Structure 1
Amino acid sequence: MKKGEIYEGIIEKVDFPNKGRVVIDGKTVIVKNGIPGQKVRFLINKKRGDRLEGRLLEVLEKSPMEKRGPVCSIFPDCGGCMYQTMEYGEQLKMKAEQVKNMLDKAIADAGQVDDDGNPDYVFEGIKGSPMEFAYRNKMEFSFGDEYKDGPLALGLHKKGSTYDVLNAFDCKLVHEDMTKILRCVGGYFRSRGVSFYKKMQHVGYLRHLLLRRANTTGEILVNLVTTSQEEHDLEMLKEELLSLPLEGEIVGFLHIINDSLSDMVQSDETRVLYGKDYFYEEILGLKFKVTPFSFFQPNSYGAEVLYNTAREYIGDTKDMTVFDLYSGTGTISQILSPVAKKVIGVEIVEEAVQAAKENAELNGISNCRFIAGDVLKVIDEIEEMPDFIVLDPPRDGIHPKALPKIVGYGVDKMVYISCKPSSLARDLDLFLREGYRVERICCVDQFCQTVHVETVTLLVRKP
């Protein structure tokens, strides 16, 4: 096989994350963005020794697992919901199998096996999201065009492209309120011929539409992100937005100025054009203040399942000092606070730490302390010693230099919440080699239709 050659074959299985396996003449090619059982045409685009990767060109035949039609008009061009033609139960089954296969190997390789050489732990399957569709409480839409010099589009990036934008007028991951707002904003600027920001030339006005909607209250923040290169009166847009027939309510309309060369949504200046710049969301009876850039689980319904699972794994923490490392906005810390002596949260993002402090005060919680800083450095400075540790790191997992320090505390139990099973598999190797064993693992699906999944792991120190 050579780069540039085109082949056809059947995707035999899909490994996490999104790695389809196609066997041609005894050689395995990794082809992303497919479903087991699909017959596909692909182009060899990477070859490193015996490792081959192919770029999907076309699905020639559907998989037997695809038992329903697409639910939106831009599938499969939009790369967000690769599994939407699979019934939800089949998605869950596949994700659970992917995670189990990966972690089985990691745990067995680290030596935690039974007398028959099989990985020796309890895998408790996967818990689904209470809502399969319309579950996202946050969505970032981009302005652009579907093709070069085409009409203004507002929606999601085309799969594999950082430039082409597809109009997401019927995205099923968000509530209908968000769709109505997107249509209103897109139509408003399209009818007026307003320019969008071109990333290569660094010219233009419109950049992003960031929407947040509280699942429990229906309160909505509309955040229009533009450059400062042009000035437009947004009063008429505000009036159009406020007159929309929504199930929820727009409580804030913000104009965010971002002149950064990066495509990341951020603020150089924020102008509140209507209402306020926050709302409150509730999870497990606790209130959390959410601002445009707050880190908050994007699926509030799924987050309750995740945190209930974590709370069950954590168990009794009465009279214990708990370290919540990578604590974000302090959700887990505050859930544990009623049944712990003290909770200390460490988080590198200062805005998240400030939000955690405000949320704790809002909920009348006084036994949580939140520290802004890198876990790697902060744990050397904390005088208290933990009785229990909760780990909820970002996608890349725990810093390799922080792992020995965490293990060095010697706590009897830890719970590791992972949003990327491959990072978890890597980190488990050190935990298991340093005297811990994996007791239980459970997956929680917060991202229906997509390739992503969360994993909760209970680690217990060997006697």
Structure 2
Amino acid sequence: MDCSYFDAGVCRSCTLMGVPYAAQLADKDAHARELLAAFGDAVWLPPVASAESGYRNKAKMVIGGTVDSPTIGILDEDGRGVDLRECGICAPGIRAALPAIADFVTRTRLAPYSVPERRGDLKYVLVTLSPDDELMIRFVVRSEDVVARIRARLPELRAALPTARVVTANIQPEHKAVVEGDREVVLTPDASLVMRVGAVPLRLRPQSFFQTNTAVAEALYAQVADWVDAVSPASVWDLYCGVGGFALNVAAPGRRVVGVETSREAVRSARATASAAALPQVAFRAGDATAFARDAKSVPELVIVNPPRRGIGAELADWLEDSGVPSVVYSSCNPKSLAHDLARMPSYRIRTGRVLDMFPQTGHLEVAVLLERTAA
């Protein structure tokens, strides 16, 4: 993949840009295997490749420039806007929507936030594209004072972008490196975007985490479901469950599944999906995964964990080590933190693993492993 922004030196986010994709994938696969070699004589499946470009279903775009000439992209070292609306890793449907969003910013007179001057209305636009080519558009603004302006001109935006299913205003008043605030104002009748990924159409609400690569996410859900079905547990926990992608895809008759997630919005999304799919044996809890495990009166036959980059941490790793849970599926976006966690869980060995290239053109990757408890 070639990128004019990278070649011009205005954006270096994709650190592997220009490296042949086959080499990227082979290097990531070898890196994960090397880092995890000490944790079992694993059977490694072939890595899952991604499309080289147009794979990102979500764009987090900083708004810079001026009201009459807004930039959509990133900020340079001086806090000035750099326009990246033709970013090649973003899905075509997102790229096609950005000019209409820029025009809406001008028409609505939403002043881009100036970091050096600490003034302005609009900080970010967050755009998510579903497999049905529908959009969720979230305007991150400093104050609710501008929400009425967005609402008043919303019909113009939806006329320009008929696929805009969900539009919201997120309130983030603070001058710090936090993308979004706690308060979300939904401006459309629909408050969730349907993501048809895997066996169950997931419902994605604002502030809910979802994998950024739809095709590879589907492969990840399918792989984990295959591993779980091979183990055939009667009970499963999905910790750090997000909108329930793993929990809902491993649901089966007679199998009790509980998903746990700190984000209440994500739990609302997961519950709505389970209800629509008629899966009463799948339940979701809002709360801390470690606290849930520690306080439980019994343990399941299999635990799925899909933590953020920092990993599950010492407390949950120690709990799993002492729990007696026979099998664990660990999906990680950081093999280094995965290795660190596995070092605290010596009773588990990797039975099989797979690298899934969720983030082409970057050094990041997803790796999933099936862990089995060894005999004492």
TM-score > 0.5, shorter chain as reference = yes
- Which residue of structure 1 aligns with residue 16 of structure 2? 83
1:184 touches 1:240 (CA, 8 Å); kept in 2?
no
Partner of 1:142: 62
With over 3 angstroms needed to count, the CA separation of the structure-2 counterparts of 1:239 and 1:411, relative to structure 1, is closer
Partner of 1:288: 202
**CA distance 1:177–1:438, shift in 2 (3 Å):** closer
Could you report, residue by residue, the CA deviation over 1:53-108 in whole angstroms, capped at 9, with x for unpaired residues? xxxxxxxxxxxxxxx6x23435543233222322322211121122222223xx1x
- The higher radius of gyration belongs to 1
The 1:73–1:240 alpha-carbon spacing in structure 2 relative to 1, beyond 3 Å, is: farther
Please report how far the alpha carbon of residue 293 of structure 1 lies from its aligned counterpart in structure 2 after TM superposition: 1.6
Q: For residue 241 of structure 1, report the CA deviation from its aligned partner.
A: 3.1
User: Which residue in 2 is equivalent to 1:93?
Assistant: 26
Superposition TM-score, scaled by structure 1 size = 0.73
1:224 maps to 2:139? yes
Q: Letter of the 1:155 partner, please give it.
A: G
2:356 maps to a residue whose letter is V
Between stretches 193-202 and 332-341, larger displacement belongs to 193-202
SS of match in other structure, 2:44: strand
Residue 241 of structure 1 corresponds to which residue in structure 2? 157
Question: Is residue 178 from structure 1 mapped to residue 82 from structure 2 by the alignment?
Answer: no
Asked whether the 8 Å contact 2:206–2:265 carries over to 1, the reply is no
CA contact (8 A) 1:318 1:339 kept: no
Shift of 1:316: 3.2
Contact in 1 for aligned 2:73/2:85 (Cα 8 Å): yes
Which whole-Å CA distance do the structure 2 matches of 1:229 and 1:82 have between them?
37
> Is the CA contact 1:142–1:165 (under 8 Å) kept in the aligned structure 2?
yes
Would you say 1:156 and 2:74 are equivalent positions? yes
Over 3 Å counting, the alpha-carbon distance change for 1:460 and 1:177 in structure 2 is closer
Range 223-232 or range 450-459, more displaced = 223-232
State the distance in 2 between where 1:266 and 1:192 align. 21
The answer on whether the counterparts of 1:78 and 1:157 sit within 8 Å (CA) in structure 2 is no
Matched with 1:331 is 245
Say whether residues 1:447 and 2:328 are aligned partners. no
Q: Could you tell me whether the CA contact under 8 Å between 1:325 and 1:391 is conserved in 2?
A: yes
- Asked if the contact 1:413–1:461 (Cα under 8 Å) also holds between the matched residues in 2, the reply is yes
* Structure 1 gap segments, 5+ residues each: 1-67, 113-119
Please report how far the alpha carbon of residue 346 of structure 1 lies from its aligned counterpart in structure 2 after TM superposition: 2.0
Q: CA deviation at 1:285?
A: 2.6
- Choose from 239, 243, 261 the match for 2:175: 261
- Cα offset for 1:375? 2.1
What letter is aligned with 2:54?
A
Count matched residues. 372
- Which amino acid is 1:222 matched to? I
Q: 1:365 to 1:399 in 2, by over 3 A?
A: same
- d(CA) in 2 for partners of 1:77 and 1:339? 53
Q: Secondary structure at the match of 2:99?
A: helix
> What displacement does 1:240 show?
4.7
TM superposition shift of 1:399: 1.9
Task: Report whether the alignment pairs 1:348 with 2:269.
Answer: no
**Offset of residue 383 of structure 1:** 2.1
What is the match of residue 339 of structure 2? 425
Gapped regions of structure 2 (runs ≥ 5): none
Equivalence for 1:308: 222
SS of corresponding position for 1:440? strand
Deviation at 1:420? Answer: 0.7
Which range moves more in the overlay, 205-214 or 330-339? 330-339
Task: Return closer, same or farther for 1:255/1:375 CA change in 2, 3 Å cut-off.
Answer: closer
Aligned letter for 2:139?
Answer: L
Q: Which amino acid aligns with 1:140?
A: K
- SS across alignment from 1:353: helix
Aligned match of 2:5 = 73
> Post-superposition shift, 1:440?
1.7
Of residues 302, 305, 320, the one that matches 2:234 is 320
Q: Tell me which of 42, 49, 59 is aligned to 1:121.
A: 42
- Return 226-235 or 407-416, whichever deviates more: 226-235
Tell me the secondary structure at the aligned position of residue 178 of structure 2.
coil
Q: CA deviation at 1:416?
A: 1.0
Note the aligned Cα RMSD (angstroms): 2.8
Q: Distance in 2 between the 1:324 and 1:103 partners?
A: 22
Letter in 2 for 1:181: A
Cα deviation digits, residues 321-355 of structure 1 (max 9, x gap): 11222222211111111155211222222222222
> Helix, strand or coil: the match of 1:91?
helix
Residue 102 (str. 1) matches residue 35 (str. 2):
yes
More helix by share: 2
Q: Tell me how far apart the structure 1 counterparts of residues 307 and 182 of structure 2 sit (CA, whole Å).
A: 28
Q: How far did 1:292 drift?
A: 2.4
1:203 to 119, 122, 132: 119
Report matched runs for 1:24-43 at 5 Å.
none
Q: 1:181 Cα shift?
A: 2.4
- Name the amino acid aligned to 2:62: S
Partner of residue 23, structure 1:
none
The one-letter amino acid paired with 1:168 is L
Q: How much has 1:456 moved relative to structure 2?
A: 0.9
* Structure 1 pair 239–334 and aligned structure 2 pair: CA distance change class (3 A): closer
> Aligned to 1:375, which of 289, 304, 317?
289
Q: CA deviation at 1:284?
A: 1.5
Would you tell me which structure has more strand in proportion to its own residues?
A: 1
